Amino acid sequence: MTYNVQNECTAGTGTIQMAEHSDVHQMTALASGPFQAPKPSRAMRKIARKTSNQVVGELTFGEELGRGQTLAFESKLEHDVALLTIYRPGVIDVCEQVEVPFVKSNGKIGRHFIDFIATEASGRRTAILVKRSDRAIRAGFLDEAARVAHAAIPHIAHRVVIATEKIIERDMLVRAEQYHASRFAQPIIDRQLAAAAQELVDPTTISGFLAMAGLGCEGFHGVIRMVRFQKLEALHTGLLTLSSPVRPVEATS
């Protein structure tokens, strides 16, 4: 997922950007072993258990690397942005509701809780402020966001972006949801698929590749993991099905 600037405002050395997302994931080693309960949420404030007009809840991620991490969200938009961020290329961690003290326009000290901070393998940290687009353009929010960016950069994050519902592309979200649903390793199936991939030369459908591996529908999630970790290339965006065409990554070079 990349962030492309749509709009920018500055406060001192802090810069805040409107963002757009795209989603690809780099190769990560799969881990197998006994199940471990996920680590608790790292939110620095209490998350509402329920609301009258918002979707609230928790998801977990990272189980493919060992012990999962719990992440809380307080709206459907936050949930979707979280999934797109977790599965963007190079991201190794996402934490939520990170407190940032900042100087208000009246000179007093305020507290802002950044919705998400994404950490990349390179060490770069991106703070993500999630807001509906009609609210993201309000002067009061933009002023506070710029002040938060000034306070957060570079100690808490290297950059601050605003994510609205306008960045949610359906094809990318559907694929991220599939990556998320398929994140748990299946060691025996994964080994069979890896061996079959070594023999794959020409494009085929997912069902054809599964048959080649001696598997049926039980191997579908394993193929999704291979696409996610760039061991196979899917030839279209969006939802993967048994009829979706795939090919070996080497065929693209």
CATH number at residue 164: 3.40.1350.10
Same-domain pairing of 59 and 158: yes
Torsion of CA 191, 195, 196, 202, to 10 degrees: 130
pLDDT digits (tens, 9 = 90+) for 140-159: 999 999 999 999 999 999 99
* CA angle centred on 123, ends 222 and 79, rounded to 5°: 55
Pure H helices in the chain: 76-86, 133-136, 139-152, 170-181, 187-199, 206-212, 220-228
Segment 8-13 shows an average pLDDT of: 37
Query: Residue 14 belongs to what domain range?
Result: 8-175
- pTM here is 0.83
Number of domain units in the chain = 2
CATH number at residue 207: 1.10.10
Same-domain pairing of 199 and 165: no
Same-domain pairing of 17 and 136: yes
Is the predicted pLDDT of residue 16 greater than 60, yes or no? no
Same-domain pairing of 62 and 102: yes
Answer whether 97's CB lies under 8 Å from 44's CB.
Answer: yes
Q: What is the DSSP string of 176-188?
A: HHHHHHT-S--HH
79 in any annotated domain: yes
Same-domain pairing of 88 and 165: yes
Bin 216: left if φ > 0, else alpha if -120 < ψ < 50, else beta.
beta
Same-domain pairing of 18 and 140: yes
What's the rounded Cα separation, in Å, for the pair 183 and 2? 22
